[in-house]
Amino acid sequence: MSVREREATAALLQVDAILSRLQGRAALAEVSRFLRAAFGHYRWVGVYRKDGSELLLEAWNGARATEHTRIPLEKGLCGQAAREGRTVVVEDVRASPEYLACFLETRSEIVVPIFQGTEVVGEIDIDGDRVGAYDASDQSFLEAVAPKLNAVLAFAATEPPPA
């Protein structure tokens, strides 16, 4: 599947609307929920914040929670995206030595860094349940969403840790 330009434009406006009324983890959770609901091939959506040498899961939406609430920067596709400061798209996670298994049904993943200036401060992590679920249109769309979340991540960092 892909994200059509009209869908992307409408979704970006919806993300703006969410961010205009919510802050911190509540905003990140609602954006995660919206992205998963709006795009059926986004089976699990998470937003991580860089916290020292780890990525900390701030919000997610999916059928169930992941055990990977803290990911060292040297591990996994999420760590790779943060270390390299670039979007990572994996067509088949079973063929990727970097992949940290979360769910048996996950077959593809896209991880998009969130920047503050030139520094990676977090990322959007999306899992799919079929090989090749993500293409250039997903990457372009999510790379447009990512900068909208940097101020929200900074606010989330000031909130008490999630329970």
Q: pLDDT tens-digit profile of 15-49?
A: 999 999 999 999 999 999 999 999 999 999 999 99
φ and ψ at residue 47, rounded to 5 degrees: -125, 120
The domain total for the chain is 1
Q: Residue 35 belongs to a domain with what CATH number?
A: 3.30.450.40
Contact 35, 45 (CB under 8 A): yes
pTM: 0.92
Is 162 within a domain? no
Contact 124, 89 (CB under 8 A): no
Distance CA 71, CA 115 (A): 18
Whole domain around residue 21: which residue ranges?
A: 5-156
Give pLDDT tens digits for 85-102. Answer: 999 999 887 776 675 666
E strand or H helix at 120? strand 119-128
Is 163 within a domain? no
